[in-house]
A and B are shown apart, each in its own frame.
Chain A
C-alpha cells in the first residue's frame, strides 16, 4: 500500500507529526486499516476522509459514491 502517486480523486498525501500527548487514531475509510502516520486525505463536500493510499480512495469513492459501506464514518 505504498502507492503515493497522484490519482484522479481530489486527494493529497499528508504526513502529520506523531504526538504521544494527543495521539490521532485514524483508519482508512475503505479498508479500515489503522493509519500509522502518512495518509491520503480526500476533502469533498465539506467532509475530510483518510485513506491508506490513493488507490483505496479510488476504490471507496468509485465503488459506492452515494452511501458509505459502513453507513457511518468511524474515525476517518
Chain B
C-alpha cells in the first residue's frame, strides 16, 4: 500500500496526464502531412499503465479511444512486457488483434524511468491511405479484411530509438502515397516523444511513487464515481433494436439487438440475437462494439469523472462471435467502425429513453458518410488518396435541438474545409455545401440538420463510398419524428438528372461501392442525414418554430404539417 496523495496533487497530476494527451494531439495536428490528420483530427492520444489500464485520454475520437484499450492490451498480451525496451515504438493496425479497422494505425511507446518501465504512451490515427484494393481504403464492397489494406500485427517500427528500415520499406511499398504515410507516421512518433518527455517531467517533479499512487487513486475515483452515476439510472432490463440497411454485397438488412441490464452499479450490454456477420464491410469487431457502448455510457454520465480505465470497469459487453457486432476473421470490417459504431451508441440511448429521458438523445444521422477518392495528379503524376467524411444532424435532446452537420457521434472529428479540399486534391471542385431544410426530425426539440454537398470532377478520379441511412430513418424518441435520410447520386458529364450508382454503374448497393472511375464534368451529390426529433412536435414552442421558418431550417409546408404552425404564442 502506498500513502494517499493529497487532493491538490492528485488534481494536478490528473490534469498533467490529460494535458499531455492533448499536447500529443496538437503535435500530430501541427506536424502531419494529411488533411485527415491536420484538418479532420481523426486521431486519439492516450496513456496506459504497464498492466494495460488506460490512465488518461483527451477529447479526441470516442470510437478510437474505446477501441485502443483493446489494441494496447492485445499488444501487451501478445508480446509480453519483456519485449519493450527504451526507444522502441510499436506499430499495429490489425482489426483481428483489437484495432478498430485497418486504416487506424496505433503507435505505442514505453516510458522508462530509472531503468524501469513506468507507463505506455500511445496514439491511434486514421491513415488516409492504407494500401487497400481501392484508394483510401474503406472499399464499400470488400468481402475480406485483406482487401481493406496492409495488415500489421504489433511490430517494432523503431527499436531502441532507431528506425527498423525493413518495416518502413514494407509499409511504404504498399501504400499509394508513401510520402504522406511517412509524414503522418513521423507526426505520430513526435507525439509519442513529446508525451515521453512530459511524463519524465512529471516523474521528476513529483517522484515515481507519488505519480504511481495518484494514477492508482484516479482509477479508483473514476470507478467509484462511475458506479455512483450508474446507480442513478433506474434498475431494469431495457431493449432496443436497429438495423444496418445493407452491406455493399447483398441487399439484405442486418438487425442488431440490444438487451441492456442496469443492475445496481453495473451495466451489461448484451447483443445476443444480433444478425450473423455481414458479407460486406459493415461488421464491427468486439472492440468497436464495446467502444460504442462506452461512448454512450460516457455521454449519459457525469463528464467530470476522470476519463480512465475506472470508467469502463462497471461496463460489460456481451457480443456473440460470428455476428455483426463481433465478426470472425477474415470478415471485412471497415464500416463497422464508421457506420455500425454510431448505430450501437444510439441503440443504448434508444433503450434508455424511458428510463432517463432527461439524459438521452434521439438518433444522430449515424453515418460518417465515408467518400474515398484517389488518382494521379495530372500535373505532377503523384498519386493521392483521401478519406472524406461529412457531418450529420444529431438527435434532439431535452432542452436543446440537435447539432447541425457535426461529424457523427463516434467521431468527434472535423470536416475538411472547402479551400483545403480544393487546394490539396486536383479531382474536385465544390459547387455547393449547405444545410438542408426539413432534414431535422420534428420534435419538441428538433433533430439537427443534415446537409448537401455537390462536387464537380475536375480530373479523372476513382471513388468509393460506404454510406448508411439511405434506406432507414434516423429515429426520433418519445414521439419525436425521424430525421431525413441521406444518400449519394451521380450526374454524368453531358447528361441531366441525378441517378443512383446502382442505376449508373450497376453497383450492388446505392451507398456502398468501390473503385468507380469518374471523368471531368461528372458531378457527385452527397446528402447527409438529419437527426431524430425529441418529444412531441406539437409541444415545441411556437416561437422556435417561427424562428426555424425564418432561418430556413424548416419550410412553411413542414411547419404546418409537423408543428401545426402558426401556433399560439406562449
Residue of A nearest to B285 (CB): A34
A25 touches B328 (CB 8 A): yes
User: Nearest chain B CB to A61's CB is how many angstroms away?
Assistant: 15
User: Nearest chain B CB to A67's CB is how many angstroms away?
Assistant: 13
* With A25-B96, A37-B77, A70-B272 as contacts: A32 and B153 at CB distance below 8 Å: no
B98 proximity list for chain A (CB < 8 A): 34, 36
Q: Mark B37-78, 1 if CB is under 8 A from A, else 0.
A: 000000000000001100000000000000000000110011
| Interface size class of chain B, counting residues whose CB lies under 8 Å from the partner chain | 20 to 34
B97 touches A32 (CB 8 A): no
Q: How far is the CA of A31 from the CA of B290 in the complex (A)?
A: 11
Return the 8 tightest CB-CB contacts between A and B, nearest first: A36-B77, A36-B74, A27-B321, A32-B319, A37-B77, A74-B321, A32-B326, A70-B320
* With A32-B319, A34-B98, A69-B272 as contacts: A25 and B286 at CB distance below 8 Å: no
A-B pairs with beta carbons under 8 A, tally: 51
Q: List 25 A-B contacts (CB under 8 A).
A: A2-B51, A2-B52, A25-B96, A27-B326, A31-B318, A31-B319, A32-B318, A32-B320, A32-B321, A32-B326, A33-B286, A33-B317, A33-B319, A34-B98, A34-B286, A34-B326, A36-B73, A36-B77, A36-B97, A36-B98, A37-B78, A38-B77, A70-B272, A74-B321, A74-B322
Q: How far is the CA of A36 from the CA of B272 in the complex (A)?
A: 22
A75 touches B328 (CB 8 A): yes
Q: How far is the CA of A75 from the CA of B317 in the complex (A)?
A: 18
A31 proximity list for chain B (CB < 8 A): 316-319
Residue of A nearest to B313 (CB): A1
B290 proximity list for chain A (CB < 8 A): 33
Could you tell me which residues of chain B, from 252 to 277, have a CB within 8 Å of some CB in chain A? Answer: 272
B78 touches A32 (CB 8 A): no
Could you tell me which residues of chain A, from 6 to 39, have a CB within 8 Å of some CB in chain B? Answer: 18, 20, 25, 27, 30-34, 36-38
B77 proximity list for chain A (CB < 8 A): 36-38
A18 touches B318 (CB 8 A): no
State whether the Cβ of B505 lies closer than 8 Å to any Cβ in chain A.
Answer: no
State whether the Cβ of B329 lies closer than 8 Å to any Cβ in chain A.
Answer: yes
Residue of B nearest to A76 (CB): B321
A27 proximity list for chain B (CB < 8 A): 321, 326
Residue of B nearest to A36 (CB): B77
Q: Mark B315-336, 1 if CB is under 8 A from A, else 0.
A: 0111111100010110000000
B97 proximity list for chain A (CB < 8 A): 36
B328 proximity list for chain A (CB < 8 A): 25, 74-75
User: Nearest chain B CB to A36's CB is how many angstroms away?
Assistant: 4
A69 proximity list for chain B (CB < 8 A): 272, 318
Residue of A nearest to B326 (CB): A32
Q: How far is the CA of A75 from the CA of B78 in the complex (A)?
A: 19
User: Nearest chain A CB to B78's CB is how many angstroms away?
Assistant: 5
Q: How far is the CA of A31 from the CA of B272 in the complex (A)?
A: 10
| Contact among B96, B319, B321 for A75, CB-based, below 8 A | B321
B318 proximity list for chain A (CB < 8 A): 30-32, 69
A36 proximity list for chain B (CB < 8 A): 73-74, 77-78, 97-98
Q: How far is the CA of A75 from the CA of B327 in the complex (A)?
A: 12
B286 touches A32 (CB 8 A): yes
Q: How far is the CA of A70 from the CA of B271 in the complex (A)?
A: 11
A74 proximity list for chain B (CB < 8 A): 320-322, 328
B316 proximity list for chain A (CB < 8 A): 31
Q: How far is the CA of A1 from the CA of B317 in the complex (A)?
A: 12
